[in-house]
Amino acid sequence: MIKKAVPFYRNDERELFVEIMKYILYGGYRNEEVSKNTGSISVDIGSGSFANVSVLPNVSTVVSAAETYGAFEYEVLDDGTVSITKYTGSASSVDIPSEIDGKSVTEIKEGAFRECTDLISVTIPDSVTEIGGNAFYGCTGLTSVTIGNSVTEIGWDAFYGCTGLTSVTIPDSVTEMARNAFYSCTGLTSVTIGNSVTEIGDNAFSGFTGLTSVTIGNSVKEIGQNAFYGCTGLTSVAIGNSVTEIEKGAFSGCKSLTSVTIPDSVTKIGWNAFSGCTGLTNVAIGNSVTEIEEGAFSGCKSLTSITIPHSVTLIGNYAFSDCTGLTDIYFSGSESEWSKVKIRNFNVPLTYATIHYDSEISEASVEQSKNITESKAESENSEDTAEKKNTDTGINTTMIVTIVVLLVVFGIGIAVIVMLVLKQKK
C-alpha cells in the first residue's frame, strides 16, 4: 500500500515511474540511476520488492550474461576485484584461481559451490578474503579443503553438511566464523582454530561425532550457542585464555569429555553449557566466573569433584542436577562466603558433597592426587613386603624340616649299624 501521495509529472512519465518505484519497491531502491538522455533506469530489486502490489505496470528486466572463466562464473566487484559466483564443472579436485584477467579473486560468493557432490578437494588461494554463506553447502564428497592465509571471514553455513570432511585448519587470518559454518560435518576428527578468530559462531561445529580434540586459540572471546553440541567423540578441549563467555549448550552432550579447565578470563558459564557430559569427572572453574547458569553441568553423572572460585555469586536452577557422583567441592573462599552464594533450586548434589573451604584447584587436586598415589604406593609396598616375608618364612621352614628329617634318618641309620655290630660280637 502506498501511504504517501506521489506527484504526477505529466511532462515526464519516466520520472513518475521512478518515484512510484521508490515507494512500492520498498527494499529495492538502492543505487537508482536515471538517465533521461537514454531513457534507461537501473534499480536493485530487493527481497519482497513486489509484495502486496496488485497492479504493476509493464516492467522489462535485462539480465546480463555472467562472465565466465573455464568452469567458473564470476563478477567484477566495485573495487576491481573478482567474486566467484558459481562453479559449473564436475571435477573432483579444484584449484580456485587467484587471478582472472589480471584481476585478483577476493571472494567466493554465497552458494558458489553449493551441492557440488563430485568435489573431493578444493584449494582456496591466498588472494581470497571472504568465503560466503552456503559457499560449499552440501558438498558431501569433499574430504580436503585448504583455506588460504588471507581469508578473514567464513560465512554462515559455508561448509554445512560436508560429511566427508575429516580435518580442517582455520588459518590465523580468519577473525570471524559465522553460525553453522561447519554444521553437520559429522566426519571431522580434528579442528585447529587460528589465533585471530574472536568468535566461534552458534552451531559452528555442532554434531561432529568423530571430533576427538579441539584447540581454541587465545584470540577467541566467545564460544557461541551449541558451538560443539553433540560432539560425542570429543575427549579433550583446550579453551584459550581470552574466552570471556561460554554460551548456552556450547559443549552439551559431549559424552566422552573427561575433564575441563575453564580459564580465569571466563565470567559466565551459560545454560546447559556442559549438560549431559556423562564422562566428565573433574572440572576446574577459573577465578573470574560470577554465574553458573541454569543446567550448566546437569546430568554429568561421573563428575566427582569440582572447583568453584569465590567470585561465583549465583548457581542457577538445575546447574548440578543429576550429578550423582559428586563427592567433593573445592571452594576458594571461606565458609561464610559460600553461605552468601545464591544456590537456586534442584541442586541437591551440592548439599551432599563435602565442601573444602579456602581451596585452590592446583593445591587441592595435586594434594588429593598425591595422597592417592602415595597411599596406593604404600599399600603396594606393604603387600610386596608381606608377600616377600611370607615367602622367606616358607623357605626357612622348609629347610629346617628337611634338615631335621635328614638328621633323624641319619641318626636311625647310625643306630641300626651300631646294633648290628654289637650283635655280631656277641
- Please report the pLDDT score of residue 40 as a whole number: 37
Q: Say which residue the cell 546447574 belongs to.
A: 319
- Please report the pLDDT score of residue 362 as a whole number: 42
- Please report the pLDDT score of residue 4 as a whole number: 38
Q: Give strand ranges (E) for 286-334.
A: 291-292, 305-308, 314-315, 328-331
* CATH number 3.80.10.10 given to 210-371: yes
Residue 242 vs residue 402, higher pLDDT: 242
As a whole number of angstroms, the distance between CA 269 and CA 251 comes to 11
- Please report the pLDDT score of residue 380 as a whole number: 44
Return the domain boundaries, the chain.
1-63, 68-188, 210-371
Residue 155 has pLDDT above 90, yes or no: yes
395 three-class SS = helix
- Please report the pLDDT score of residue 66 as a whole number: 75
- Please report the pLDDT score of residue 299 as a whole number: 98
- Please report the pLDDT score of residue 415 as a whole number: 66
Q: Give strand ranges (E) for 289-372.
A: 291-292, 305-308, 314-315, 328-331, 342-343, 354-356
As a whole number of angstroms, the distance between CA 128 and CA 110 comes to 14
- Please report the pLDDT score of residue 315 as a whole number: 98
Reading the block at residue 390, the C-alpha cell is: 611370607
269-276 average pLDDT score: 98
CB 225 within 8 A of CB 202: yes
236-243 average pLDDT score: 91
Average pLDDT score over the chain:
81
CB 83 within 8 A of CB 75: yes
Q: What percent of the chain has pLDDT over 70?
A: 69
Query: What kind of architecture, by CATH, is found in domain 68-188?
Result: Alpha-Beta Horseshoe (3.80)
Alpha carbon separation from 326 to 18, 65, 70, 293, 307 (Å, rounded):
71, 66, 62, 18, 11
Intrachain domains 68-188 and 210-371 with the same fold: yes
Residue 245 has pLDDT above 80, yes or no: yes
As a whole number of angstroms, the distance between CA 177 and CA 180 comes to 9
pLDDT band at 189 (very low <50, low <70, confident <90, very high): confident
54-81 average pLDDT score: 75
Sheet with strand 167-170: strands edge to edge: 167-170, 190-193, 213-215, 236-238
- Please report the pLDDT score of residue 193 as a whole number: 87
Classify the C-alpha dihedral 362-363-365-369 as positive or negative: positive
CB 286 within 8 A of CB 262: yes
Lowest mean pLDDT among 57-61, 303-307, 364-368: 364-368
As a whole number of angstroms, the distance between CA 167 and CA 210 comes to 10
Cα–Cα nearest to 296, from 246, 224, 222 = 246
pLDDT band at 388 (very low <50, low <70, confident <90, very high): very low
156-171 average pLDDT score: 93
Cα–Cα nearest to 202, from 161, 157, 244, 162 = 157
Cα–Cα nearest to 338, from 312, 319, 316 = 312
CB 211 within 8 A of CB 233: yes
- Please report the pLDDT score of residue 191 as a whole number: 86
- Please report the pLDDT score of residue 424 as a whole number: 65
Residue 184 vs residue 147, higher pLDDT: 147
Lowest mean pLDDT among 50-59, 199-208, 275-284, 297-306: 50-59
pLDDT, tens only, 132-142: 999 999 999 99
pLDDT band at 304 (very low <50, low <70, confident <90, very high): very high
